[in-house]
């Protein structure tokens, strides 16, 4: 016999589950229009993969895989992709895919897995993600994200949550009574993925029929253990159920996986079975419609996207003055302002109380510091202290006092004699803290971008300066080289002349050039001899220079005549040929 533990706090509100758990699950009619919000779960939102006017069939994927995908619950035509009211306490609108249903319910061909044991945990996790499986217990966390992968064997205990502690709600109870075998088949798949050492199925003792159904289904199984325990709110909280079944406490801010535990809802297990064994994506769920304003109360298997007013009409809804519509139970549910909001993956209950059934809370009075809220808190928090910090908007102290460990069960508000809506303060504070963190993150990101830009600009400026200095050094070095080689202008002229001469250098042209040069030298030699002949010898220096000029020119003439003769041109001249010319070159 497994030992059962207790958790701190808790309350015993009126259950009122008999309003809706008398009959079997009914299949809700296909509405004329389905409205599917793109965001129905925690995590990134997928983008539409269909266009307006496109025909779709049941099971067809409507979004890409950038987030948990959505699928068409039935056949029809995409009527719009636009913002519509969604089930949120703020009454906000959000992008939705609208399907105009043709009521023919035509489906694509499904691809079930023949033997899931042949697939690895990663492969099964991928299948569950693509089937859009999210936790159906309330939070809507993508199931595949909670599962360990191929290399992770840290899960010691798999807990299946069949507690459903919230008053009025009986959808899980009905599911367990009627579909225990399907749930167990889903648990087998989860166990194949997580490879736990033990599997525990926890059910509160206020569900005798569900317990009997599981006792029958598990009669010949030894790998799963059914554990029942006394009814107490909020036993269905993940951390509270873990403590009840194992005696272990999930550390503040931590996850159950940190202590080797994986917890999944019974509805999620059934959806896992449908996704793997049947190949059917998550397109419907069991939803309780209850409250004294609905005459035909019960549990409905309803398509996601069904407008709540359509579902309420099938439950013979009779609205009253100042009628309230609550999605969820009276403790943790949220009041909706628009009956056109659609059923989504986390819609486990629609509560429409009659007059006086759920009276409006009395006006809040001053806190008398009685401490009852701390005694009732299942998370061992100090609700009164959190209340003061919330009013002062002291976010730092709120986090230090573990605000985010609050599961918003409402036990503190339930017992507060001053009727202070404590949970509303905590919800608002959580939103404010998240927004402040988001603002800080955006500011940090902007600062990092600015600093990176400044660094890039400084780096580019330094690189430009280095290149400029390099060019300057190269120019100075070139100028120094040119100065060492002589007049750069004359050198350039000579190089140009050399290039010109090289281009014109052909055998015929060379001989002509040599003859022209020979004629010029002969002319200069004749002029030099005339000047020497005319010299009267009065200045010895002039006479010597003229003689030297004549001798130099005669030498050049002789060298050129020899060159021409060697090249086969005009024969070399004799010395007598130079007697008629003179030159004053270099005089």
Annotated binding site for [4Fe-4S] cluster: 367, 370, 373, 377, 406, 409, 412, 416
Task: Name the strand (E) or helix (H) holding 208.
Answer: helix 208-217
Which of 328, 333, 325 minimizes the C-alpha distance to 347? 328
- CB proximity list for 384: less than 8 A, separation 6 or greater: 367, 369, 371, 373, 374
CB 523 within 8 A of CB 529: no
Tokens linked to 15? 């259950």
The whole-angstrom separation of Cα 309 and Cα 118 is 44
Residue corresponding to tokens 């249903």 = 101
CB 565 within 8 A of CB 572: yes
CB 329 within 8 A of CB 166: yes
Residue corresponding to tokens 């799963």 = 224
The whole-angstrom separation of Cα 516 and Cα 525 is 14
CB 354 within 8 A of CB 320: yes
Binding-site positions: 367, 370, 373, 377, 406, 409, 412, 416
Buried b (16+ CB within 10 A) or exposed e, 77-94: ebbebeebbbbbeeeeee
**How many CA within 13 A on the CB side of residue 280?**
14
Which of 217, 255, 258 minimizes the C-alpha distance to 239? 255
- Pairing status of strand 284-290 against strand 298-303: antiparallel
CB 494 within 8 A of CB 487: no
What is the separation of C-alpha 258 from the centre of its chain, rounded to a whole number of angstroms? 24
DSSP H helices, 392-506, are: 395-400, 411-415, 422-485, 488-503
Measured in degrees and rounded to the nearest 5, phi and psi for residue 535 equal -70, 135
Q: How many other C-beta atoms can be found within 10 angstroms of the C-beta atom of residue 341?
A: 23
The whole-angstrom separation of Cα 41 and Cα 49 is 18
DSSP designation for 142: B
């Amino acid at each position: 016999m497994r030992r059962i533990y207790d958790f701190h706090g808790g309350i015993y509100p009126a259950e009122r589950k008999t309003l809706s758990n008398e009959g079997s699950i009914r299949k809700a009619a296909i509405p004329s229009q389905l409205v599917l919000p793109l965001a129905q779960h925690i995590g990134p939102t997928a983008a539409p993969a269909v266009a307006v006017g496109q025909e779709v069939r049941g099971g067809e994927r409507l979004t890409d895989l950038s987030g948990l995908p959505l699928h068409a619950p039935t056949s029809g035509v995409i009527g719009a992709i636009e913002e519509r009211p969604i089930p949120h306490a703020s009454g906000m609108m959000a992008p939705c895919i609208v399907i105009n249903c043709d009521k023919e319910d035509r489906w694509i061909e499904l691809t079930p897995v023949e033997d899931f044991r042949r697939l690895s945990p990663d492969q099964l996790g991928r299948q569950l993600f693509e089937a859009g499986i999210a936790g159906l217990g309330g939070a809507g966390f993508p199931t595949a994200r909670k599962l360990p992968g191929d290399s992770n064997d840290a899960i010691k205990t798999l807990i299946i949550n069949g507690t459903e502690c919230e008053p009025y709600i009986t959808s899980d109870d009905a599911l367990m009574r009627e579909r225990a075998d399907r749930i167990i088949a889903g648990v087998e798949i989860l166990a194949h993925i997580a490879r736990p050492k033990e599997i525990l199925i926890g059910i509160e003792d206020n569900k005798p029929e569900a317990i009997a159904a599981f006792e029958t289904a598990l009669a010949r199984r030894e790998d799963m253990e059914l554990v029942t325990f006394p009814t107490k709110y909020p036993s269905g909280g993940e951390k509270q159920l873990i403590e009840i079944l194992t005696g272990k406490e999930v550390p503040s801010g931590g996850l159950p996986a940190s202590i080797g535990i994986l917890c999944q809802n019974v509805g999620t297990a059934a959806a896992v079975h449908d996704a793997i064994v049947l190949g059917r994506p998550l397109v419907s769920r069991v939803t309780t419609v209850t409250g004294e304003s609905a005459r035909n109360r019960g549990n409905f298997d309803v398509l996601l996207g069904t407008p709540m007013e359509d579902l309420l009409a099938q439950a013979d809804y009779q609205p009253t003055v100042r009628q309230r519509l609550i999605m969820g139970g009276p403790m943790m549910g949220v009041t909706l302002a628009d009956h056109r909001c659609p059923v989504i993956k986390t819609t486990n209950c629609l509560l429409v109380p009659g007059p006086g059934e759920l009276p409006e809370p009395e006006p809040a009075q001053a806190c008398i510091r009685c401490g009852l809220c701390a005694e009732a808190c299942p998370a061992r928090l100090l609700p009164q202290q959190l209340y003061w910090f919330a009013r002062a908007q002291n976010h730092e102290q709120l986090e230090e006092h573990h605000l985010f460990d609050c599961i918003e069960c409402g036990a503190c508000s339930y017992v507060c004699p001053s009727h202070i809506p404590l949970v509303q303060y905590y919800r608002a504070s959580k939103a404010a803290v998240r927004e402040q963190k988001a603002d800080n993150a955006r500011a940090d990101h902007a600062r990092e971008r600015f600093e990176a830009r400044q660094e890039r600009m400084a780096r580019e400026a330094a690189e430009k300066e280095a290149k400029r200095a390099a060019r300057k050094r190269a120019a100075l070095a070139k100028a120094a080289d040119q100065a060492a080689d002589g007049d750069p202008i004359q050198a350039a002229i000579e190089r140009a002349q050399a290039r010109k001469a090289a281009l014109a250098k052909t055998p015929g042209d060379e001989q002509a050039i040599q003859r022209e040069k020979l004629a010029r030298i002969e002319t200069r030699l004749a002029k030099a001899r005339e000047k020497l002949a005319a010299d009267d010898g009065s200045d010895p220096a002039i006479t010597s220079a003229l003689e030297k000029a004549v001798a130099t020119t005669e030498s050049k003439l002789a060298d050129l005549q020899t060159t021409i003769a060697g090249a086969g041109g005009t024969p070399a001249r004799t010395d007598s040929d130079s007697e008629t010319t003179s030159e004053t070159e270099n005089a």
